[in-house]
Amino acid sequence: MLLRFRKRRRCSVQEPCRGGAGPMARPRALGKGLGALIPGAGADPIPVAGAPGEVLRLRLKDIRPSPNQPRKDFGREGLEALADSIKEHGIVQPVVVRKLNGGYEIVAGERRWRAAELAGLEEVPVRVIDADENRVMELSLVENLQREDLSPLEAARGIRELVEKFSLTQEQAAKKLGWSRVAVSNKLRLLNLPEEILEMLHRGDLSEGHARALLSLEDLLEQIHLARQCVDRGMSVREVEEAVRKPSKGKETRARRSSQSVLIPEPVLRVSERYGIDVKISGRGDNVRVMLGGLSEDEARRLFEMIDRSGELLFPDK
């Protein structure tokens, strides 16, 4: 059997493929959330005259960054590394822009645009979309939240901004980002920590795992005290979790004397950690109060439907 192979012309950044020369390489995915928000973001780019949703080439000087870009620091070292990659492989994923005041404004991809300038390119592939100010801000926030180098604190603050600016539920924000609701909830919970601990998280003195373990402590002063110990002693996440579950002598005394503080059982801690649910338990004896946070209305309804179905098993004496 004779097999005949046709050699494919390789496309460069400076010259997109045309006619029968074969399609340009498919752009790397923007991320599930951003890709879903930008029409045609996953399609093969076709050079056109600039119709919304399609791809063309623009001179760098005809493109300007958005003043609403949430990311202010792009990092020189990272830009230089990306510029080197662009020199070797070209820009695979087009910059997303919109027409504005006779020019083009970046909606998503400012980092690629800056790196292309460092790489000495004169033109870049762009996808033109129709977008108003709110749309631009939303897409910029989503793109920023999908960065690989995003710190936990940056992610938490970015999600909060997305939720507050566009009046989203956690489920809606998760859908836009292509994340799970639990992941969104866990990030937002970090913002409940004291500012001193958030600063430790920002500096990298504490990991996200350390911070989430500290959230199990209701007393802010105890959170700060344990966080300082963690940094001073180089404690692991597991050690912090064990310290949280094993209260100090003074804390045991308060738990015995006061109805406002009880230890959270191990199964409850596991559920809270796994599903991103805030659990607060107070009271004692036959008068224990349980408060759950981080649930959507549908999740709360399903929870009580399950309790209703299993009522006889859960409350045999009721």
By annotation, the residues acting in catalysis are: 110
Give the C-alpha separation, 79 to 75, whole Å: 6
Q: Which two tokens stand for residue 74?
A: 């792009």
Location of structure tokens 């006779």? 102
Specify whether the CB–CB gap between 27 and 94 falls below 8 A. yes
CA separation for the pair 171, 153 (Å, rounded): 20
3-state secondary structure of 176: helix
Other beta carbons within 10 Å of 230: 24
Please say whether the beta carbons of 128 and 144 come within 8 A. no
Sign of the CA dihedral with 17 first, then 88, 95, and 120 last: negative
Q: Are strands 55-59 and 95-100 parallel, antiparallel or unpaired?
A: unpaired
β-partners of residue 105 are 64, 98
Cα(65)–Cα(144) distance, rounded to whole angstroms?
A: 14
Q: What sign does the dihedral 300-304-305-310 (CA atoms) show?
A: positive
With both helix axes pointing from N to C terminus, report the angle between 152-165 and 195-203 in degrees, rounded to the nearest 10. Answer: 120
Are 26 and 35 in contact by the 8 Å Cβ rule? The answer is: no
Taking Cα atoms as reference points, which of 161, 71, 152, 52 lies closest to residue 112? 71
